């Protein structure tokens, strides 16, 4: 039960982070960036366990969030491609690929390498302004890649 709660809490925290970044981009009428961070002050690395939200100035940290050490967070789709591991919400509230006009589509996978619970992974889908959590998934192993994304 504890593991299931950790996975659910981590997925919900990530959804909340993305929703608040989207709202900040609209409120501030500018680009708000969500990215992995190694130091909590700037974007860097590929480990999405620690994520920051940067204001339109690209320097001010609006939010710094770290998930439990037991939980693995990984990305797929255009999130991990040309956008250099960033999710950028523009002033219209849509997530786009870095500096391009292409609408971002991808998944964030939150999982634990455990067999208890059997449903040990959640996928958070990001597509433009839509952020949603897919139903719980069974995963034989929790890896850094997101299958079928």
Transcribe 11-56 into DSSP letters.
HHHHHHHHHHHHHHHHHHTS-EEEEE-SSSSS--SS-TTEEEEE-T
pLDDT at 140 over 70: no
Over range 48-73, report the average pLDDT: 91
pLDDT at 136 over 80: no
Structural domains of the chain, count: 1
The answer to whether residue 32 is domain-embedded is yes
Q: Across the chain, what does the average pLDDT equal?
A: 83
The answer to whether residue 141 is domain-embedded is no
The answer to whether residue 8 is domain-embedded is yes
pLDDT in tens, 77-90: 767 654 567 888 99
Q: What are phi and psi of 76, to 5 degrees?
A: -150, 180
* Segments forming the whole domain that contains residue 90: 2-133
Cis check for the bond before 31: say yes or no (omega within 30 of 0).
no
Range 62-65, long-range pairs (CB < 8 A, 24+ positions): 62/20, 62/21, 62/24, 62/32, 63/17, 63/20, 63/21, 64/37, 64/40, 65/13, 65/14, 65/17
Q: Residue 92 is part of a domain; what is its CATH number?
A: 3.55.40.10
């Amino acid at each position: 039960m504890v593991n299931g709660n950790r996975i659910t809490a981590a997925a919900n925290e990530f959804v909340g982070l993305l929703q608040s970044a989207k709202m900040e981009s609209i409120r501030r009428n500018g680009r708000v960036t969500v990215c992995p961070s190694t130091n909590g002050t700037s974007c860097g690395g590929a480990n999405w366990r620690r994520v920051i939200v940067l204001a339109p100035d690209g320097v001010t940290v609006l939010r710094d969030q770290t998930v439990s050490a037991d939980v693995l967070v990984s990305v797929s789709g255009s999130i991990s491609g040309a956008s250099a591991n960033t999710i950028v919400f523009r002033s219209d509230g849509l997530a786009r690929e870095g500096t391009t006009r292409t609408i971002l589509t991808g998944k964030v996978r939150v999982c634990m390498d455990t067999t208890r619970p059997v449903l040990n992974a959640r996928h958070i889908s990001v597509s433009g302004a839509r952020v949603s959590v897919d139903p719980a998934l069974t995963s034989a192993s929790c890896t850094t890649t997101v299958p079928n994304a």
